[in-house]
Structure 1
C-alpha cells in the first residue's frame, strides 16, 4: 500500500518506522503497563485537572493550536505518555532527562526502562533478549537489568521510546502543511479542540485542551501502524531511581 505523504516531521517518521520494529528504535512523535521504578503506573489523567477556565485555544488557527499544544506540553517539564499501535504499546512517565515505564513489542518481547540523566537501565524479557541475540548480536541476560550511557548503541535504541525530544525540540508543522480544526469535543472528560491533518484518505487528529492550560492531550490515527497516544499527569515528577540488584553493563557492539 502506498504510504501517504504527510508533511509533519514525526508523523512521517512514524510511518517510516512502522516496518522496522525489529531495530527496537521507537518511531518519533509518540503505553498500559507498570512503572518499574515506583510501582504501578500513575493513574493521573487530563480529566483529573480541576481547572475548567476557558483558555481560548479553539479561537486560534489550526497550526497555532497544534503548536500551542506541543509548546505547553514541553513547558510542563514532564508527563505520562501512553502509546498504542499495531505491534507495540508503551506506558512511560518522562521528562527531558528521565524516563520510567514499560514497552511491549508484541511477539518480539518487552522491556522495562529507567533513564536518569546520563544513565539508562533496561530489563528485557526472554523474547526480547533472544531477538537481540539473533537480530543484532547483542548478548544480554533475560529478566536482568542492563546499564549503559544514552549514546551506547543498544541503550540509545531502547531509550528512543522515551521521546525526550518532545521537551527539547517540540514538533512543529511545516509551513506548507494543510490542516483543519474541528469543533471542540470531550476527550477523556476534558473539552479539547481537534486539529486534523489528512492525506490520501487517511488522517491524524491531535487534541488540545480548551480549558485550563492548553495541553496536547491525545493523538488519534486512522492507520493501525501509526501511533495513538494519550498524554496526562502533566508536571508530575518522574523521580527515576537506579534499580537494585545485579546489573550488567551493556555491550558496545
Structure 2
C-alpha cells in the first residue's frame, strides 16, 4: 500500500501558501499514515454493470482484488465519488481532465468546483469566501461570483486537488508487505462485492470490489480516525464539465 498514493484521497494536510489553504487542501503528503479519515457511511452506489454477470474476482488474493478494483475504476475513465470525513464531505464527478461537484469543509463553509482541462472555476459560499479573503488579505472571493484560474494558480490548483485525477492516471496498488486479508462476498448497497480488510490495533478499513460485471472498487468503510468513508459509482459516465454562467472574476495570485 503506497502511503503517498492512499493519502491523495482528500487528506487535509499542510501545504505552502496561506494558513487557510492548510485546512482546505486535498493535496498529497508523503507523511500521511494512509488514506484519510473516517466519516458516516456513504450513500447507496449504483450497480457495477448492467449485465451483472459474475467476474470471479473473489478467487484472487487480497492484493490482487484491491489492485484490480483500483485499475478497473481508472480504466472506466470517469466515475462519481462521494466522500465523508469528520464532517468534511465531497460529492464529485471526475475524470483525468474534468471534475464537477461540491466540497463541504466543517466549520469553514463550502465551494462548488469545476475543472475542464487546465481551466478551474470555484464558487464559494459566504462562509468560505469570508475565511479565504481574511487569510489572503483581499476581497477577491464572494458568494455571488465564480473565481477562475488555471492549474498554474496556487489557489485554484489546491481547490482542484480535491478532484483527485490521479485515481484515473495512476491508480493505487497495495504494497506486497501490506497485511490485508480477503473477506467474504456479501451484498453491499444492493450489489455483490468481496471485501479486502486491513486491520490493526483494533481498528480496520474495508475496501469492497464488485464481484459482478466489471470488478470496480465501489466502497470504503473505516473505523480509523485517519481514514475516510467513500463510495464510487456511475463508472464511465461523462463528467460533462462546462464553464459556468454568471459573474466570473480572476483568481488572486498568492
Can you give the 5+ residue segments of structure 1 that lack an aligned partner in the other structure?
1-5, 31-42
Q: Kindly tell me: are residues 57 and 137 of structure 1, through their superposed partners in 2, closer, same or farther at Cα, counting changes over 3 Å? A: farther
* Superposition pairs of residues 92-171 of structure 1, within 5 angstroms: 92-137=92-137, 139-143=139-143, 144-171=145-172
Does the aligned pair in 2 maintain the 1:55–1:211 contact within 8 Å?
yes
Q: CA deviation at 1:11?
A: 3.9
Q: CA deviation at 1:199?
A: 2.2
Q: Measure, in 1, the Cα distance between the counterparts of 2:211 and 2:111.
A: 36
Tell me which residue corresponds to 1:194: 195
Q: Kindly tell me: are residues 199 and 134 of structure 1, through their superposed partners in 2, closer, same or farther at Cα, counting changes over 3 Å? A: farther
Q: Measure, in 2, the Cα distance between the counterparts of 1:140 and 1:225.
A: 33
Q: Measure, in 1, the Cα distance between the counterparts of 2:196 and 2:134.
A: 42
Does the aligned pair in 2 maintain the 1:44–1:233 contact within 8 Å?
no
Q: Deviations over 1:89-138 (max 9, x none)?
A: 01101100100000000210000000001100000111111221233446
Does the aligned pair in 1 maintain the 2:99–2:239 contact within 8 Å?
yes
Tell me which residue corresponds to 2:40: none
Does the aligned pair in 2 maintain the 1:179–1:195 contact within 8 Å?
yes
Q: Measure, in 2, the Cα distance between the counterparts of 1:138 and 1:85.
A: 30
Q: Kindly tell me: are residues 8 and 177 of structure 1, through their superposed partners in 2, closer, same or farther at Cα, counting changes over 3 Å? A: farther
Q: CA deviation at 1:12?
A: 4.9
Does the aligned pair in 2 maintain the 1:195–1:206 contact within 8 Å?
yes
Q: Which moved more, 1:10-19 or 1:159-168?
A: 10-19
Q: Kindly tell me: are residues 72 and 197 of structure 1, through their superposed partners in 2, closer, same or farther at Cα, counting changes over 3 Å? A: same
3-state SS of the aligned residue for 2:179?
Answer: coil
- Using structure 1 for the length normalisation, give the TM-score: 0.85
3-state SS of the aligned residue for 1:47?
Answer: coil
Q: CA deviation at 1:86?
A: 0.3
Does the aligned pair in 2 maintain the 1:15–1:226 contact within 8 Å?
no
Q: Does 1:230 align with 2:225?
A: no
What RMSD over aligned residues (CA atoms) do the two structures have, in Å?
2.4
Can you give the 5+ residue segments of structure 2 that lack an aligned partner in the other structure?
16-20, 29-34, 37-42
Q: Kindly tell me: are residues 48 and 77 of structure 1, through their superposed partners in 2, closer, same or farther at Cα, counting changes over 3 Å? A: closer
Does the aligned pair in 1 maintain the 2:130–2:141 contact within 8 Å?
no
Kindly tell me the number of residue pairs found equivalent between the two proteins: 236
Tell me which residue corresponds to 1:37: none
Does the aligned pair in 2 maintain the 1:79–1:234 contact within 8 Å?
yes
Q: Which moved more, 1:17-26 or 1:218-227?
A: 17-26
- Using structure 2 for the length normalisation, give the TM-score: 0.85
Q: CA deviation at 1:23?
A: 3.1
Q: Deviations over 1:29-49 (max 9, x none)?
A: 57xxxxxxxxxxxx9942374
Q: CA deviation at 1:231?
A: 0.3
Q: Kindly tell me: are residues 23 and 106 of structure 1, through their superposed partners in 2, closer, same or farther at Cα, counting changes over 3 Å? A: closer
Q: Kindly tell me: are residues 59 and 48 of structure 1, through their superposed partners in 2, closer, same or farther at Cα, counting changes over 3 Å? A: closer
Q: CA deviation at 1:225?
A: 4.9
Tell me which residue corresponds to 1:216: 217
Tell me which residue corresponds to 1:56: 56
Tell me which residue corresponds to 1:75: 75
